[in-house]
Structure 1
Amino acid sequence: MRVDPAVYDREPASETEAYAAMGRYNEELTKAGILLALDGLQPPSEGERIEFGPGGATVVDGPFAEAKEVVGGYWIIDVKSHDEAVEWAKRVPARGGEAIELRRVFEVADYDPAGLEAHGELSSQPSQQTAARDA
């Protein structure tokens, strides 16, 4: 989900209805049995970008200049069709100006068998996308 970076400057107390609406949406995904993972992301000021060039990798601390939109969070859902994914994305309780970018996760079957062979043995089982956090 792409959001205006200003969303991070809002007081949480002023966002109770937005949080409640998102909670209800996430609960619908859970009850439908399609939610695999979801997370909200910290603001760009808390992150770094790793840029790659001829000299190797360079770390750039956030916030990033002139960002008009940032990835504020994501959902990974397991649905039967592209159309079903679109329908779920259209139900996100987003605000005007926010956007959902819908993309498939690569599966082993999406890769060229020769490329997979060169990479080594891969499991056909999905990996854990979200690591456990210490409390």
Structure 2
Amino acid sequence: MAKYMLIMRGTDESYAEMTKVPFEEMLATMGRFNEELIRAGVLVAAEGLDDPSQGVVVDFAGDTPVVTDGPYGETRELFGGYYVIDVASKEEAVEWAKRLPAVPGSKCEVRRVPGIDEFPQDNEWIARERAWRERTGQL
């Protein structure tokens, strides 16, 4: 099994379409999909994000980070939420991504989440992270 992140990305247009759907209907649609993931035993985590106007961007383009408050200008692709699933293959992760209840114009990026065992185990920082994961029940 391997973990994959399904990263939901939208545009200004797809976010506008999403606001046309009644909130209760959207919750029910996402809830049914979440329940499918739970029943299949693949859901690890899932979160949606607050409105982009409530966020900030920290830009590292210069010597000093520059913080800009939302709302933003035109956004071509905006990260809107994610799922982490534990499945047998990238192909299975893609099949789940294809079933996401998404509005037209949005996208879902599928990326594998490497496990801690894939990093050098003799590295001090990896050892510290492993110990923290063990203490918190993540391993």
Residues 64 and 89 of structure 1: is their aligned pair in 2 closer, same or farther, counting only changes over 3 Å?
same
Structure 1's consecutive aligned runs of 4 or more residues displaced over 4 angstroms after TM superposition are: 124-128
Residues 68 and 58 of structure 1: is their aligned pair in 2 closer, same or farther, counting only changes over 3 Å?
same
Count of residue pairs the alignment pairs up = 125
Task: Give the number of the structure whose residues are more often strand, by fraction.
Answer: 2
Residues 119 and 56 of structure 1: is their aligned pair in 2 closer, same or farther, counting only changes over 3 Å?
farther
- TM-superposed deviation, 1:86: 0.7
Question: Which secondary structure does the structure 1 equivalent of 2:113 belong to?
Answer: coil
**Alignment gaps of 5+ in structure 1:** 129-135
Corresponding residue for residue 4 of structure 2: none
Conserved? CA contact 2:12–2:74, under 8 Å: no
Residue among 4, 8, 19 paired with 2:11 = 4
Identity across matched positions, percent = 40
* Residue identity matched to 1:95: V
Question: Which secondary structure does the structure 1 equivalent of 2:83 belong to?
Answer: strand
Residues 83 and 63 of structure 1: is their aligned pair in 2 closer, same or farther, counting only changes over 3 Å?
same
Residues 25 and 127 of structure 1: is their aligned pair in 2 closer, same or farther, counting only changes over 3 Å?
farther
TM-score, normalized by length of structure 1?
A: 0.77
RCO comparison, higher one (Cα < 8 Å, 6+):
2
**Alignment gaps of 5+ in structure 2:** 1-7
* Residue identity matched to 2:88: K
TM-score, normalized by length of structure 2?
A: 0.75
